[in-house]
Amino acid sequence: MDFSLSPEQRSLQERTRRFIDEVVIPREPEAPLDNSGWDTLRSQLQAAAGEAGLFLPHMSSAWGGMGLDWRTCTLVFEEAGRSLLGSQALNCSAPDEGNMHLLEKIGTPEQKERYLQPLAAGATRSAFGMTEPAPGAGADPSLLQTRAEQRGDRWVINGRKWFITGAQGAAFIIVMARTGEIRGHGGATMFLVDADNPAYTIVRKVPTLDTMLPGGHCEIEFNDCEVAPAAVLGEVNKGFEYAQVRLGPARLTHCMRWLGAARRAMEHAVRYAAQRVSFGARLADQQGVQWPIADSEIEMHAARLMIWHAAWLLDQGHPARHETSMAKVFVAETVNRVVDRAVQICGALGISEDIPLAMLYREIRPFRIYDGPSEVHRMSIARRIFRRADEARSG
């Protein structure tokens, strides 16, 4: 594996960094705490990204994108992640980014025209409906309770979902529903449901620790929600299989973005420590500050290399489930530690709203939970290790 960056990659990286610093970060105070105002801010930032040649990095030119491979996306996504508005500006934010890949890979031509084209253009937002209240599906998708059944020439969906990111204001949702016996990767199907379907209801926007996201995290309900056969995304009973198409790259792009946020936190900590004098010396000269700064640098470097390797595997056509799972655990826990150390080093200033550390602290914490909690990924990683050991023993 070649770790060097081509001149084109380095230029793109630097161009993205300047765009985030000069255009996006100054707009952060305008980010609304509720859903009002997001569409205007997003469209303005996306227009600026288009003018800068940085719009839609992960999609092909057929959809108006930059057509970057995953290895190059790591550079752009990390720089974009230095601002919580960065991925919105470049139109590579969750859950839209993952939904675009899913629609591009398994959508019909009609579905791509109706849903993918406006999504890629930034004209609409989307949501992905998997998580349910207990006893439904969460970290364990086999507990899926939402059901879809055929009645005549229609599919009818019933169930409740919650913590559905971006649902408020989304034009459509990709919902996972049980259509058969859950066994292995079978028994579930994905459906495209328009937001104006009268039997699809947003019950509430769930109050959460993180707030810097259009549409929030919502609880939604399907009450005899009728959709046509054309609403089936892919094939019936292959929903879990398609979820892997979406989740592998999506959890890695989360890692790319949040590593950028951790870098920004580190920048603030270093800047503060270099200027603040206490006990007769700069904080930067105190060993108690030097060590956490060094630990953060070491861990971010390791996190970046894990991301690059997993991205390289995806570019080679490998599913990279094991590698993206390991990266998800390590990066999620790394960025939490880095931001926490930055807050501690900056002291009272770190918990104020005068600098973005408090905001980053709130927004980063859920990353250890969504797209698979660290504990579940560790369980999956260990199972694969023992499975390989059993296969080796059996020849």
Complete domains list, the chain, with CATH: 7-120 (1.10.540.10), 126-237 (2.40.110.10), 241-393 (1.20.140.10)
Q: What is the pLDDT of residue 231?
A: 98
Q: What tokens appear for 163 in the block?
A: 């913590």
Kindly tell me if the per-residue pLDDT of 33 is higher than 80. no
Q: What is the pLDDT of residue 31?
A: 87
Please state, in angstroms and rounded to a whole number, the distance separating the CA atoms of residues 353 and 360. 10
Q: What tokens appear for 124 in the block?
A: 């609409």
**Which burial class, exposed, middle or buried, applies to 366 when counting CB atoms under 10 A from its CB (0-12, 13-18, 19+)?**
middle
Whether the Cβ atoms of residue 24 and residue 212 lie closer than 8 Å to each other:
no
Distance of CA 309 to the CA centre of its chain: 18
Please state, in angstroms and rounded to a whole number, the distance separating the CA atoms of residues 58 and 377. 25
pLDDT tens string 160-170: 999 999 999 99
Q: For residue 362, what pLDDT band results from cuts at 50, 70 and 90?
A: very high
Angle between helices 70-80 and 287-315 (to 10 degrees): 140
* Three-class SS state of 342: helix
User: Nearest 5°: phi and psi at 243?
Assistant: -60, -35
Q: What is the pLDDT of residue 34?
A: 66
Kindly tell me if the per-residue pLDDT of 109 is higher than 70. yes
Q: Please give the model's pTM, rounded to 2 decimal places.
A: 0.94
Kindly tell me if the per-residue pLDDT of 35 is higher than 70. no
Q: For residue 184, what pLDDT band results from cuts at 50, 70 and 90?
A: confident
User: Nearest 5°: phi and psi at 222?
Assistant: -115, 115
Please state, in angstroms and rounded to a whole number, the distance separating the CA atoms of residues 326 and 303. 10
Q: Which helix (H) or strand (E) holds 98?
A: helix 96-106
Please state, in angstroms and rounded to a whole number, the distance separating the CA atoms of residues 125 and 193. 13
Any alpha helices (H) in 277-365, and if so which ranges?
287-315, 321-346, 357-364
